[in-house]
Amino acid sequence: MRPSDRDIELEGRAEEALKGLLRQSSAIQISEIRMAEPDSAGSVDFVALIRLLGHSRTLVCKISCKGDVRCIRASLKALREYASSVDAAVTPLLIVPSFSSRTRELCSECGTGYLDFEGNARLEIGELFIRRRSLPQSTARPLDRFPPVAFRPAAATHSLKQARSA
């Protein structure tokens, strides 16, 4: 089955977000990020091979387009099952456009790292721990103290003109 344009865009954003997170630590070198093998049965979308302080590490990443609790639980279960079936030690990472505080807690309780497109992340790889919190991007910016003239009420504009002429 061919992935949709939306899936391809989501994968691209997820890969860029992961690269951005990993590049924040000078102890991490990214060796390769590649699509998962077809035998992963959809449990993993891509794999990141990194070097951490000279040691090889593997991140197995699952992308979920929905951040609701039910979808997150299903994705966490798939990641855990995949991680337990692999011989090598891997670090599971769930990537979602936006996490709620509850879904972030679920990931932490399961020992799974998380990353979202708003800048929130939690990742524990061996002796390295990364945690990032950001304000939701959907939060409106506070209004400036003096809004542009076009948006000022007529009374305020009139009183400003009177104050300037005095």
pLDDT at 161 (0 to 100): 58
pLDDT tens digits along 88-120: 779 999 999 998 889 999 999 999 999 999 989
For the chain, domains (ranges, CATH) are 5-136 (3.40.1350.10)
Helix (H, G, I), strand (E, B) or coil at 56: strand
Question: Which residues share a beta bridge with 31?
Answer: none
Query: Which residues lie below 8 Å from residue 68, measured CB to CB, with a gap of 6+?
Result: 103
Query: Cα(39)–Cα(72) distance, rounded to whole angstroms?
Result: 22
pLDDT score of 163: 58
Residue 115 bridge partners (DSSP): 95, 121
Could you say which residues of the chain have pLDDT below 50?
Answer: 139-141, 143-144
DSSP 76-139: HHHHHHHHHHSSS--EEEEEES---HHHHHHHHHHT-EEEETTS-EEEEETTEEEEE----TTS
The whole-number pLDDT of residue 20 equals 93
pTM: 0.75
Q: pLDDT tens digits for 122-134? A: 999 988 999 988 8
